[in-house]
Amino acid sequence: MNPARKMVYGFGGGGADGDASLRNLLGGKGANLAEMARLGLPVPPGFTITTEVCTWFVAHDGAFPEGLEAQVHEAVAALERQLGKRFGDEENPLLVSVRSGARVSMPGMMDTVLNLGLNDRTVEGLARAAGDRRFAFDAYRRFIAMYGDVVLEIGAETKTDHDPFDERLERLKRERGVQHDFELAAEDLERLVADYKQLVVERTGAPFPDDPWEQLWGAVRAVFRSWDNPRAKEYRRMYHIPDEWGTAVNVQAMVFGNLGEDCATGVAFTRDPATGEKRIFGEFLVNAQGEDVVAGIRTPQPISLAQAGGDASARPLEVVMPEAYAQLLEIAHRLEQHYKDMQDVEFTIERGTLYMLQTRAGKRTGLAAVVIATDMVDEGLIDPKTAVLRIEADAMEHLLAPIFSADELREAEKSGRLLARGLPAGPGAATGSVVFHADDAKRLAAEGRDVILVRNETSPEDVGGMKAARGVVTARGGMTSHAALVARQMGKPCVVGCSALEIDYKQALIRIGDRVVREGDPISIDGVTGRVFEGTMTPHPSEVVQALVEGTRDLASSDIARRYARLLEWADEFRRLGVRTNADTPEQSREAVALGAEGIGLCRTEHMFFEGNRVTSVRRMILADDEAGRRAALSELLPMQREDFKGIFRAMGGRPVTIRTLDPPLHEFLPHGEQEIDALAAELGVPRDTLAAKIESLAEANPMLGHRGCRLGNTYPEITEMQARAILEAACEVAAEGVAVHPEIMIPLVGHREELARQRAIVERVATQVFAEQGREVDYLVGTMIELPRAALTADEIAGEAEFFSYGTNDLTQTTFGLSRDDAGKFLPFYIETGILPADPFQTLDQEGVGQLLEIGVRKGRSTRPELKIGICGEHGGDPRSIEFAHRVGLDYVSCSPRRLPVARVAAAQAALREAQA
């Protein structure tokens, strides 16, 4: 790096070298400190070492660039001039804090060292200057402990050990017979300091550094090093933060909240981060230093009287330091006006004077996000575009989940009712009796019982049971297992991958360590955090669901539902991408329409095959020896499928409905257990062995790559014929009712143009017949899923036969990676944890690989048919980052489960708005 390059940016005293726009260079904390200084807010002066220095440091094995030392010396000298103190001065020493600060807030890195600059001599100066020897040694022992911990890395030696500094403090308190730190006298603390320094010698083989400059450089180095520690790296991986960003270091003159009863330190949000309410919210401690608030040793006090429920005995800041409180309110207001967002601030009050140590956009719940965004539009602070951009799209779904109250959850965990943790696969909360089999779930639910279906994993046979259950728990499987996918589409609370559960189906019980939960016992699951509890709890549908989905609450009566709807209206104005839903039933369709679906992007006909006793006809069809037998069974299914489609067409009221023809391999519809095979043999009147042999002959080594999709429709054209007939007859009949109908018949798993051509020919032939029979025509399209690499690569060919494409990104991800969703549990989590893969490709579209196929398919498909309609109907259709990609490559729509629709609408709007910004 050029030594003349500016590596150090000063702030404080009513001005700063940098400002908020330099976030990339100064980190969030440094940029905002500079910005606050420029605004004239009371910020203790200091300086920021840039992220560029960190990047250079990492690239050069921990060396500092030439020129840095001089610039830091100059910045410290400026501080000294401004404050009239000197770094290392034995009379009136300048003390500083050292904090990391990356472009985005990032846990896992070295956080803070306070009181840096103290040693055996300066501590005496501090004691004199403050007129408080106890305070000075308290600061000194805190400094050694923090520095020892984060810079010298002196920690517990084994997992069961306590922190060694804490241990020594506790020992001293026991010796002195006191309970609290503040009961220790100055001489006690002095002894503790000596004790601490002895510990440092023992553990590092060197004395504690008493040169303030050595202390400062050690702390800077520790911050930079911590950029690459495992926790920080993992966090970056999870949140897709590039390694190259680096962190800045903020060095700032100390102010003290622990100089007496007119001192304090605290944190505050400018609005309530849980509810979004427009009032300051936070907590503080009198006579304390920053970390005391977090440490939880003393109970902090609320900021405002309102926050304390009007109870002045809670000693809110508003009551105990009304002037500082007024000043804080004023600053909070200025910060919001300036940043146009809710802020999360840190402050210290030294002898009655308020100092601001940090400001940043405050994290908030989904509920608060919606409230704050809409409020700020009404306040004229932001425009609707900013409001939409401000929402984390995923949060839109949180407002739809049924919920347990936070109190109840806390209580349950405290009383030892937590059974297992797993992955939060389906949102919301549910409670009910344990059942292990889908049939039991259906039977008991029919009797009005609330049940939770608990299985090692689920299969399509379990869909009915999952629907009947209040919630689903699996011991195996990941976020994209069958259980997770189906549950999310159903909006069903679901926790998957609870590996602590050992399910014994035979004895009908679950073992968790030495605890046992039996069939029929009540459990409760929290799909938001992925926890399973013993016993019953009380879930409630959210207000938004009551008002927008269930219609059990008047929209006018729900402030939050109105705000939610308003945000979605804005999003709809801004987005270009269409939004459809994956829905297989009229109920799902109605829910989806309520949540903004502009059509159905994927209706899976096979899910209907499990309804009621249809599966018997399906099985008869599968087991038929010849086409005639298959046709006979199919003719039983025809009227049922037709009614299904009529229900869906009516529910969708004129919106396009994409219906996929039969996709899964036929063996998925057959029973595998001994008893079930016996029962089916009896039902069908065929010898048991014949049936078992037939089932065996349909088994496949790799069903994912087997006889499924259009391969079924091509080998058994009569299946496609029946389905096309059911769709088109339903369309004609509903059209006759005066409802517009736009069926789009989608052929799955096409890899070669000719596969589609033949299926298309069948559909067209059936259409001609049906229209003649019904004396009525309806518009319909024939298109295909693009879910095989070959389909994307030959999209120009396939577009010759297809009026639309729908990317089945689940299967496309499986084939592009050669990765079975069902089996990935054995290594995919490890791959993601250890950074071999940057993210789970089933959750977030792999833009680098699978994305190339999307782009190729769009380009080639439109080269043949420029008007080709292209959507996405995999799980990625509801993932915000994937939606942004879909927008960017020019898709026409995304399709997702009903409850993801609000997410998709917001994400689509954000994609359009960000594109316009760029």
List residues near its own copies by CB under 8 A.
Answer: 700-707, 711, 714-715, 749, 751-752, 754-755, 758, 787-790, 793-794, 797, 811, 814-820, 822-823, 826-827, 830-831, 835-837, 846, 848-850, 852-853
> Residue 806 is inside which H or E element, if any?
strand 804-807
C-alpha to C-alpha distances, 844 to 254, 853, 874, 877, 880, nearest whole angstrom: 44, 15, 11, 10, 8
Residue with Cβ nearer its own copies (174 or 688): 688
Q: How far apart are CB 477 and its own copies at their closest, in Å?
A: 11
Beta pairing partners, 531: 421, 526
Closest CA to 822 of 499, 491, 485: 485
Q: Looking at beta carbons only, is 447 or 848 nearer to its own copies?
A: 848
CB of 809 to its own copies, least distance (A): 13
Q: Where does 60-102 have alpha helices with state H?
A: 68-83
Which one, 675 or 697, has the nearer CB to its own copies?
697
* Residue 828 Cβ vs its own copies, minimum distance, rounded to whole Å: 9
Residue whose C-alpha is closest to residue 495's, from 479, 519, 518: 479
The catalytically annotated residue of 873, 876, 887, 896 is 873
Q: Closer to its own copies by CB, 499 or 538: give it.
A: 499
850: Cβ contacts below 8 Å, ≥ 6 apart: 809, 812, 813, 816, 817, 841
Print burial letters for 645-668: b (CB count within 10 Å at least 16), e (below 16).
bbbbbbbbeebbbbbbbbbbbbbb
CB of 796 to its own copies, least distance (A): 10
Contact 903, 385 (CB under 8 A): no
Question: Looking at beta carbons only, is 128 or 790 nearer to its own copies?
Answer: 790
Cα separation, 9 vs 53, whole angstroms: 12
Least Å from the CB of residue 497 to its own copies? 14
Catalytic residue selected from 54, 263, 482, 876: 482
Nearest-approach distance from CB 706 to its own copies, in angstroms: 4
Nearer to its own copies, 392 or 855 (CB): 855
Residue number with CB closer to its own copies (339 or 817)? 817
Handedness of CA 502, 504, 505, 510 (dihedral sign): negative
- Closest distance of CB 213 from its own copies, Å: 39
> From the CB of 6, what's the least distance to its own copies, in Å?
34
- Beta bridge partners of residue 872, listed in sequence order: 807, 894
Closer residue to its own copies (CB): 697 or 917: 697
Q: Does residue 851 contact residue 845 with C-beta atoms inside 8 Å? A: yes
Cα–Cα distance for residue pair 241/247, rounded to 1 Å: 12
Alpha carbon distance 771, 90 (integer Å): 98
112 touches 290 (CB < 8 A) = yes
Q: List 458's β-bridge partners, or say none.
A: none
Cβ burial of 834 (10 Å; 0-12, 13-18, 19+) is exposed
CB of 821 to its own copies, least distance (A): 9
| Residue 319 vs 705, nearer CB to its own copies | 705
CB 900 within 8 A of CB 882: no
> 3-class SS at 853?
helix
> Whose Cβ is closer to its own copies: residue 301's or residue 816's?
816
247: Cβ contacts below 8 Å, ≥ 6 apart: 27, 51, 54, 100, 101, 102, 106, 109, 223, 224, 226, 227
Contact criterion met (CB below 8 Å) for 238 and 326: no
Active site residue 732: no
| Lookup result for tokens 């016993």 | 535
Distance CA 142, CA 116 (A): 10
Residue number, 644 or 811, with CB nearest to its own copies: 811
DSSP symbols for 214-282: HHHHHHHHHHHHHTTSHHHHHHHHHTT--GGG-EEEEEEE---S-SSTT-EEEEEESS-TTT--SS-EE
Q: How many CB atoms lie within 10 A of CB 808?
A: 28
452 in Cβ contact with 441 (< 8 Å):
no
Q: Which of 183, 78, 190, 72 is nearest to 126 (CA)?
A: 190
* Residue placing its CB nearer to its own copies in the complex, 647 or 706: 706
498 included as an active-site residue: no
Distance CA 604, CA 811 (A): 14
In angstroms, how far is the first alpha carbon of the chain from the final one? 30
What pairs with residue 604 in β-bridges?
660
Give catalytic residues, as residue numbers: 482, 873
